[in-house]
Amino acid sequence: MYNIASPKGFSAAGAHVGIKKAKTDLTLIASEVPAAAAACFTKNIVKAAPVVYDERIIKNGGKVRGVVVNSGNANACTGERGMDDARAMASAFAGLLGAKPDEVFVCSTGVIGAPMPMEKLEAGIPRVFKMLGCSEAHGVSAVEGIMTTDTFMKTAGATVAVGGAEVKIAGMAKGSGMIHPDMATMLAFVTTDAAIAAPLLQKALFSGVERTFNMISVDGDTSTNDTILVLANGMANNPEICAEGPDYEAFAGALGKVCESLAVDVARDGEGATKLFEVRLSGAATEADARKIARAVTSSSLVKAAVFGADANMGRALCAMGYSGGEFDPDRVSMSFSSAAGSVDWMKMGNVVPFDEALAKKVLSEKEIYMDIDLAGGEFSAKAWGCDLTYDYVKINGDYRS
């Protein structure tokens, strides 16, 4: 099993420092040596202080030694004090690492608009620093420290041969609500011991994010804190990836698989969710059309409600496709849905076909559902993931601060 400290030269730990009442709420990730960094951030105009802080690090293109993450407080909508607090968090960890503040990323997640309890963090960071390690238990505590309403830990990893060396990639993510990313998602962290130039690391990350994190939706809300960070410290000793080619493709493919695993788990763990559904769209005229149309279906509250109720009201999916902004001919669309319980054809070449309602109910009652949509208009395809919209979603979010 992979954990965030599985790649060579990384360590991590998480602990409770008092931001939350009892749960683990602070995580540290460290690299023995300076690491190349890449990131994607929220496109929400309202950005949390840590996002603004981290964006500057990426813009300056420097190497990074670590990440400090807290849960329980988003440090968003907190003005200049929020920026001061983000800098103070980075400085506290950087001092322990023997690094500069701009060599440490800061991430926060939790309630928006509340000031950071800095006295707890300033006391907690040195304590968690002493706990750093690379065992499975260290990885578990690190994941626990970033979770909010998540119901399970989200981790993934891969090993890939690059230039004759074995390269490891490991990731962890948090996310359950306020999920409709337009960059990455919520908070996600990836470490790798690959040697790769920062511009190519950024290219590989952006490519992976576009096909995975940017193709999930729980509730249509894009967070103020959405961030995914990748650190590559080169300790696998592979020949540095400095240009596109077989080594780059192998690395980017493995990174993409890690991103997909994490993203699907986020969709699966949507607040109050009981079902995951995947839209597999083909036959689009352009890749952009494919992505827009597939994502519109998974984002539709009416489609989500139909999935929850196991109601084969797939006209809602066609409606969402129509307002997606993607181009297609409705008279050429074919659509079906399937699960472990079987498969149902719902539309062929623009015409709804007779189907067995009892079988449809059974198929849609499973925990994982697949919707296949063929536009018959081109060669491009896309996948998107979503979850059902349940009564519990409202309960959870009507009570979030209590």
Which positions are catalytic?
185
The tokens of 148 are what?
A: 């909010």
Burial of 328 per CB tally in 10 Å (0-12, 13-18, 19+): buried
Tokens encoding 335: 């659509």
Query: Distance between CA 43 and CA 146 in Å, rounded?
Result: 21
**Residues constituting the chain:** 402
| C-alpha dist (Å) from residue 246 to 251, 252, 286, 381 | 9, 10, 26, 24
Give the whole-angstrom CA distance, residue 327 versus residue 288: 9
DSSP summary character for residue 196 = B
What SS3 state is found at 99?
Answer: coil
78: left (phi over 0), alpha (psi -120 to 50) or beta: alpha
Phi, psi of 227 (to 5 degrees): -150, 140
> Which distant-in-sequence residues (6+ apart) come within 8 Å of 189 by Cβ?
4, 29, 67, 69, 107, 146, 171, 172, 173, 228, 229, 230, 231
Taking residue 323's Cβ as centre, other Cβ atoms within 10 Å add up to: 9
Using the structure block, give the residue that is written with the tokens 């940017």: 214
